[in-house]
Amino acid sequence: MAYHLDGARLFNAMVAKNETPKQYGELFDTISICLSKGLGAPIGSLLLGSKKDIAYALRLRKMLGGGMRQVGFLAAAGIYAIDNNVERLAEDHKKAKEIAAVLETCNYITKIEPVETNILIFYVDDKIGADNFIEKMATKNILLTPMGEGKIRIVTHLDYTDEMHEILLNELKNF
């Protein structure tokens, strides 16, 4: 049986765990990597595998109508993203942990899931309510993602600036 890794956030995992691409390549027959999630490329993904697997995937893609013309400029963005933005993912992880540290001091927070990368999931007190919390933060131009059942998600990324980070931390402290 062949093993495939949907590596949408593979670089985040590698940076957080101080691992290498080779470690994953030794475990999986094929790996897909997203160039836009966290790396800043406008679109794009890579499929890694043997020549045989790649040839088969390209054939399937063509049969299903996939593919784009004139994608060289997008390939350049993907190359730039890999060359310049993988190591900086550690900044996103650091900011997520800093947000968690602030939330730990807030009496309206009931639970924070362990933060390993740039994704932070937390719960607010039922008296406030997740939807109400999200709406109030939106009035301050802070957009949070509801996940249902009272969960709220924050994802730090390339476009989340230091200035935005300071504003968020202050708003959380003063909520």
- Kindly state the DSSP code that residue 169 receives in the 8-state scheme: H
Examine the fold and report which residue of 85, 107, 142 is the final residue of a domain before the chain moves on: 85
Q: How many domains does the chain have?
A: 2
The pLDDT value recorded for residue 126 is 93
Q: 154: helix, coil or strand?
A: strand
31 & 95 share domain: no
Examine the fold and report which residue of 38, 69, 85 is the final residue of a domain before the chain moves on: 85
The pLDDT value recorded for residue 68 is 64
66 & 95 share domain: no
pTM of the model: 0.78
94 & 143 share domain: yes
Are 120 and 109 in contact by the 8 Å Cβ rule? The answer is: no
116 & 168 share domain: yes
The pLDDT value recorded for residue 69 is 61
96 & 169 share domain: yes
Q: Which domain does 149 fall in, by range?
A: 89-173
Are 2 and 27 in contact by the 8 Å Cβ rule? The answer is: no
Question: Phi and psi of 119, rounded to 5°?
Answer: -110, 130
For 93-113, letters b (16+ CB in 10 Å) and e give bebbebbbeebeebeebeebe
Mean pLDDT by 10 residues, the chain (175 residues): 90 93 93 87 88 91 72 83 95 98 97 97 95 96 92 95 97 96
